[in-house]
Structures are given as structure tokens and as C-alpha cells.
Amino acid sequence: MHPLKLTIQGHFWDSYLYEGRLYLFGRDGEITTVNWRSLIGGVKLKKKYELALICAFLRSDFLYGIDLKLLFSDSEIKDVVMRKFQGLSNNSLEVSSQKLKKHTISTQDNPCFFPHSDIEVYNRNIYVASKDGLMSASCNKKTKYGISSRPEKKWDGPVTGMSASYRTLAIAAGDEGLYELPLGPDWDGMNGDEPSRLSDGICNDCSWAYYSIFGSSFESGFLASYRQQQDSDRVFSREFDGIIPAHQIFGSRGFSWGVHDKLCQAVGSGIKVVKYSPWYDDDRNFQEMGIVSLEDWKGEIVSASVASFGVVVEAENAIVVFPSAGPSVTFEGEPINWRIFPRSKNYENQLHIIYDDRLEIFSFNHDYLVDQESKISGVYTRADRDRGKRKVSINSLQDILNN
């Protein structure tokens, strides 16, 4: 099934979708905050495509629901749902700059580093990083602009990539290594702590593999391994276990990366995938899943990540998605930036790619039907994963717009 595409015209540097707001970082140094729900709600479509539109762009978690597994085991129901996505993909979803204005909450001068190397949003704070350091600003919907115009500098060290989870910001600092910054008891990152170094190995980017952190590097990479501890009050904490070099995990060296349960390494013939299950104490914690073939290979890897819908690899002149089901999808051309949201509740099916004059938002909607236990390409996904058993109840698009 082809991904759905929504195009937003403009000259952007980066984009981030969080709690119903789309933050667009312009290349002229401005930030535009857009009401994402109203933008999608304003798309004029036949009523029969509403379900597909909601799942594609507003509530990626909806069709992952455990209760829907039984429903999808019925092939007729499955076909009806797939036809809705197919029908929606025949509609052109274009957002002109005029239309974008209609849904814009604020436009402001960028008060943080620009051009940044990475951004991350966690607990209604945005973290903006560059070689010159790390800044944070609130984006709690209480400030005049989408992002507070008074950011706080958190660190002077260089940052090439970062990722937040478990009340901690993981920071990749190139040849200075991998750091982590506690985001404080109130999850606000304002407790004045300095980042602490976990490894002095080269780390160009980092991602969370459950409660551990995978440090990605062009030379190889490593896993900063953690155990999860539970005290007598049933409160969980992370205990540092040590650094595991990538060659010990994969049995070979090469550019490697990992998200949640899927650790990947580029090898000659494709991408080697290892399933990571940190709760095992034996050799089941690293299980080789197989190799994803690289038929559509486009040269040296620039960057890579893993989403629920598949493995995403950026080569010099293309982005290639190896979906959890079906053939690979190639997006030709050198992107200015790209981003996925593997830890998002509602947007984990999206791939944002920025080109010279537009942002293209792709929505992949095949993974709901894939067996999550056995899939090789893409992280394990379930609606209640890491979130408690949330009850999904949506009757219409209006329900989402009202929330």
C-alpha cells in the first residue's frame, strides 16, 4: 500500500509534531506554530474517508488497538479499511502558504540556535541543539508564541543529535561521546544538572532502545545498556549496566542504529536486524532476526532510524523506507531534513521530509495488519505499549477537534 502524502508549501529547515501542534522552523530564522488538528480538520473530503484521514494524520494509535485485532482478522473488514486508505491516497492533499496562514497560531523569530542540528520535544519543553550547545524553551500552550521567546541555555557542549525518554535527554556529542541529562523530578529539565558522560566513543546520533540508549556512529556504535529496577513502592528506576560495542551485538562492524526493540547495522548485502529484549538475562536479549535486502540501494548511508512502519535509511540522494510489509519505497532527491516520531502516541506512522520549497508528510498505514511479534523491519508497536491501557474512543473527526 502506498503511503499517503500531504504537502505543505514553504521554505523550511525542520518540522516537529507534538500534541496537536506542528512547529515549522523556517530557513529565514522564523518559527511558525500551526494548529495541526484544525489544519487536518479543514481538509475537504468525502465523509467515507474520515476514518482513514484520522488514522493517517491524527491518531496513528487507533488501529493498533488490541481490541481491533479480532476485527482485522476478518479479511472483508480488512479490505474495506484498506480501500479507504487507497481511496484517500487518490486525493491530492496540498496546503498552500495561504491555507497554512489560516491555521497558524503564531509566527515568531527563532530565539534558539539556528541552524540547529536537532530538536526534541518532551513534556511540553522543546530542546534545541547545535555544535554551540543545548537550549530549552517551554511550548506548553500558555506562552504568547508557540515556543517561549525566553529559552534557557542548558549546556555549552556540542550536540549532533538527541532523544528524550524516561525523564532523560540522551545527547550525542560526536567524538566527545554520549551524554545524558536528567530532566528533573518535575520533568521540566530546569533542575540545573549538567549532562553526565556515558561513553567516550564516537556518537553522531542516539535513540532510545526501551530504557537503554543506542549510540549511533559511522565507525560502528554501541549500546549504553540499562536495567530497570523496581523498589518496594513499585517505582521504576534505570540502573546503568555498561557499554556494549555494536560489534559484540552484530558480530560485525559498520554504521549501526537502533530504536526500541530493533537494532540495525548496514552490512554489504543489506541491513542486519537484531531484536533487543533487555528484560532477559540470557542470550535471548539479542536475537538475530535476519537481513533486510538493499535492492534499491542509493550509495553511502547518511543517516537512519527505525519507525513502527519500517526502517528508514537516508542515502546521499534518496530516502529509502523498508516497510514492515511490502516492497521498499524510495523518495528520490537530497532532502534538507527528515524526521520520524517513533515515541509519539499519535504520529508514529508519519515521515516528514523537507525539500527546497515544501514539507512532504507521508503517512504509512500498512503496519496495523502486520504481526508485531515476528516483523523484522520496524519497531514492535501496540496501542497500549508503554502507556497503560488507554481506552480508545473516537466517534468522529469532530471528537478529535474538540479534544
Partner 1 sequence: MYTHNKNHRNGNPRKSQWSISKDEEKLCFDCSKNNQWLNEFDGWGLHCPQGDILWLGWTQGGGKQTFIAKFVCAKGNKPNWHGYPANHQKHVHDIPDTHILNKWLQEKLIKPAKIRKIAKGQTCTL
Which residues are near partner 1 by CB under 8 A? 13, 27, 29, 113-118, 130-132, 158, 160-161, 173-176, 202, 204-205, 218, 300-303, 316, 334-337, 356
Handedness of CA 215, 217, 219, 220 (dihedral sign): positive
Beta strands in 133-235 (DSSP E): 133-138, 152-155, 161-165, 168-172, 178-182, 196-199, 205-209, 212-216, 221-230
Q: How far is the CB of 304 from partner 1 (least distance, A)?
A: 11
Interaxial angle between packed helices 75-89 and 50-57, expressed in degrees from 0 to 180 and rounded to the nearest 10: 80
Calculate the alpha carbon distances from 79 to 65, 86, 87, 91, 198 in Å: 18, 10, 12, 19, 48
DSSP string, 360-373: EEEE---GGGS-TT
Contact 106, 146 (CB under 8 A): yes
Q: Which is nearer to partner 1, 19 or 219 (CB)?
A: 219
Q: How far is the CB of 339 from partner 1 (least distance, A)?
A: 11
Q: How far is the CB of 24 from partner 1 (least distance, A)?
A: 14
Q: Which is nearer to partner 1, 141 or 153 (CB)?
A: 153
Q: Which is nearer to partner 1, 27 or 167 (CB)?
A: 27
Q: Which is nearer to partner 1, 93 or 301 (CB)?
A: 301
CB under 8 Å, gap of 24 or more: what pairs does 277-286 form? 278/209, 278/210, 278/211, 278/212, 278/225, 278/226, 278/227, 278/228, 279/228, 286/249
Q: How far is the CB of 38 from partner 1 (least distance, A)?
A: 29
Beta strands in 220-269 (DSSP E): 221-230, 236-245, 256-259, 262-267
Q: Which is nearer to partner 1, 26 or 87 (CB)?
A: 26
Cell numbers for 84: 479507504
Q: How far is the CB of 59 from partner 1 (least distance, A)?
A: 30
Contact 164, 150 (CB under 8 A): no
Q: Which is nearer to partner 1, 27 or 227 (CB)?
A: 27
Q: Which is nearer to partner 1, 54 or 320 (CB)?
A: 320
Q: Which is nearer to partner 1, 118 or 120 (CB)?
A: 118
Contact 223, 215 (CB under 8 A): yes
Contact 23, 31 (CB under 8 A): yes
Q: Give dist(CA 329, CA 93) in Å, integer.
A: 19
Q: How far is the CB of 169 from partner 1 (least distance, A)?
A: 17
Q: How far is the CB of 334 from partner 1 (least distance, A)?
A: 5
Q: How far is the CB of 111 from partner 1 (least distance, A)?
A: 14
